[in-house]
Amino acid sequence: MKVGDLVTLSAYAAKLGGLYQWSAACRARSNKPPLVGLIIKVDGERWAWDPKRFTVRWVDKNPPEGRDGRYGCVYFTRKDLRFVK
């Protein structure tokens, strides 16, 4: 993934407690369109075990701030995102 790619939450991210309210299943029940975002920043790996960090600008009024929903984390990992089809 690189800057400028369109993404949405992956199935893994939808199962995380902090991101469930933005999952496709939860949004479909409330008649909201799927969550779509644009990658605006990619931070490289700091160490071998540290994954890349993606900053996403979501197209929504109330988007998630990071992989832990509203609990302080302001980035997403590759595992949390997938390309929009």
Q: Is the pLDDT of residue 16 over 90?
A: no
Q: Is the pLDDT of residue 8 over 90?
A: yes
pLDDT reported for residue 72: 67
Cβ-contact 9, 67 below 8 angstroms: no
Among residues 30, 57, 28, which one has the least CA distance to residue 41? 57
**Tens-place pLDDT, residues 27-81:** 889 898 888 999 999 987 777 677 888 999 999 888 888 887 666 678 898 999 9
Among residues 62, 79, 83, 84, which one has the least CA distance to residue 14? 79
Please provide the size of the chain in residues: 85
